[in-house]
Amino acid sequence: MPLSDKFPRRLAATILVGLVAASCGETPIDLPDSAAANDFSDRVGENQFIYEELSERERDCIFDREAEELDLSLLVTGFGAAADAERTKAVQIGLDCVDEPAEWDGWVQFQADQLEVGLGQGIEMSTSEGSCVIAYALENAQNPARLFAVGDDMGDIERLVDSLEECLSERNLSLFYGTDVVFDDYGDDPSLDALYEACDDGEMVSCDLLYALSGVDTGYEAFAESCGGGSPVSDLCTGIELSSTGSPVFGDARYGQLRDDCGAGDGVSCDLLFNISDFGSDLEDFGFSCGERLPLGGNPDCRTSMADS
């Protein structure tokens, strides 16, 4: 696979933080002392500079509506459909209150930076590219707030991909589709190098995740596909069986073990679970949330967030 096809979900989490954070620094939020609450607070605090350009009216609009309409504890620490609905509502408030979201330079650049992380492979987005992506999604998505909050509708995700084709430079598009490669082999990217080293040490979960995140026909991919120089046990180095559609076979004991390892706190297992599970499935959600530790997902991934916690 050229790139993880899960980047819209990661992007949604960062956009959500961006759109609800403008007033959170001023709002007395009574939240439990939890990893989820601390993670959200850290993300908001790191990005307060983005909101300085908002007008007083825009900030007051967000502040007043959030105070009246949102269950902030559910939004920050909740899981499942009710929490997703609350997050969608939060994004809608931001979109309603800010006059021109696609022209909000600080927020757009923040999203462009997050897209670079999600897309990987050395993509470097300009503010104009980021603004174009946001504007295209706002105009063409059936439910922009849901797309930006949860990222779970395939139709709108396809429209987001369309926006990349419309907005990215020729160089970035070639990187996106894997026709050009920046991160080719060991030594090119620290994150992939860490997985390479773990794979070389015989950690098969790291081999499979390296394969999922590597560009097509790269040295990283070839090494991962060989399970670190050996031979695959089955469809994946971990031995997890894949169906004819390429999805893990539900009930496979090794797939269940991957979930258990994620639940026990292994970030690599969470990231692999997220990347190989069916879109919109409970197991994808479990991996995305780092074993139901971080409702907004690891930033930029579970292995990074869980190592930092």
> pLDDT digits over 249-308, tens only?
888 899 999 999 999 999 999 999 998 998 878 898 899 899 999 887 877 789 988 886
| Average pLDDT of every residue of the chain | 81
In this structure, what token pair is assigned to residue 158?
Answer: 């396809």
Q: How does DSSP assign 252-290, residue by residue? A: -HHHHHHHHHHHTT-HHHHHHHHHHSPTT-HHHHHHHTT
- Beta-carbon contacts of residue 126 (< 8 Å; ≥ 6 apart): 112, 169
d(CA 263, CA 245): 26
Give 54-98 pLDDT, tens digit per residue.
888 988 888 888 889 988 788 878 888 898 899 899 889 888 988
One-letter amino acid for residue 98 of the chain: V
Residue range 37-63, pLDDT digits in tens: 676 666 656 666 666 788 889 888 888
For 105-144, what is each residue's pLDDT tens digit? 777 777 777 677 666 667 788 888 888 988 898 899 999 8
Q: Between the CA of residue 235 and those of 208, 212, 242, 248, 276, what are the distances in Å?
A: 10, 13, 6, 9, 12
Backbone angles phi, psi at 289, to 5 degrees: -85, 10
Averaged pLDDT, 198-226: 91
Angle at 222 (CA atoms; ends 217, 228), nearest 5 degrees: 165
